Amino acid sequence: MVNFSSYVGRVTATVLTLALFLAAVTAWRWGRQEAYALLFAAFLSVINMLILGGRLIALPASTHLAARRLGGAVLQRWIITILGLILAIFWLHLPVIGLVAGFLLAHFVFLAFLMRERIRQRS
C-alpha cells in the first residue's frame, strides 16, 4: 500500500518541477502570459491534490463519515478550481491555452504515477 502523504508529495514535486521547466520554455517561445497561465493552472492543480491528499490521510474509520469527508473534499476542490479559473480568465486575463496546458500537465503526471504504482503492485 502506498503512503498517501509521500505519494502526494512526490506527485506535487514532480508537477511543480515540470511546470517550472515548461513555463521557462513557454516564456522563451510564446511569451510570459502563456507561461504565467501554465504556472497558475499547475499550482491550482497542486492545491487540489494537496486538499485531496490531506483528506485521504485523515479518513475516519466509519464509511459514512469517510464518504462525507471525501464528498466535502470534492466539493471544495470544484469550488477552488472554478474560482481560480474565474480569477485567471477575467481578472488576470491569462490565456486559456496556457491554463489548459497547466491542467493537462498536472493530470498527466498524476496518471503516470498511478500507472507506475499499478505496475508495481502487479509485479
| pLDDT tens digits, one per residue of 43-62 | 999 998 888 777 777 777 77
User: If you write DSSP's letter for every residue of 35-84 in order, what string do you get?
Assistant: HHHHHHHHHHHHHHHHHHHHHHHT--SSHHHHHHHHHHHHHHHHHHHHHH
User: Taking each helix axis from N to C terminus, what angle separates 32-57 and 63-86, rounded to the nearest 10 degrees?
Assistant: 170
If 0-12 CB within 10 Å is exposed, 13-18 middle and 19+ buried, where does residue 48 land? buried
Tell me the per-residue pLDDT of 77-121, one tens digit each, with 9 for 90 and over: 899 999 999 999 999 999 999 999 999 999 999 999 989 888 888
User: What integer pLDDT is reported at residue 3 of this predicted model?
Assistant: 60
CA 23 to chain centre: 16
C-alpha cell at 80: 477552488
Single-letter code of the amino acid located at 23: A
Helix, strand or coil for residue 60? Answer: coil
- Alpha-carbon torsion angle 71, 75, 80, 81, nearest 10: 100
pTM, full prediction: 0.84
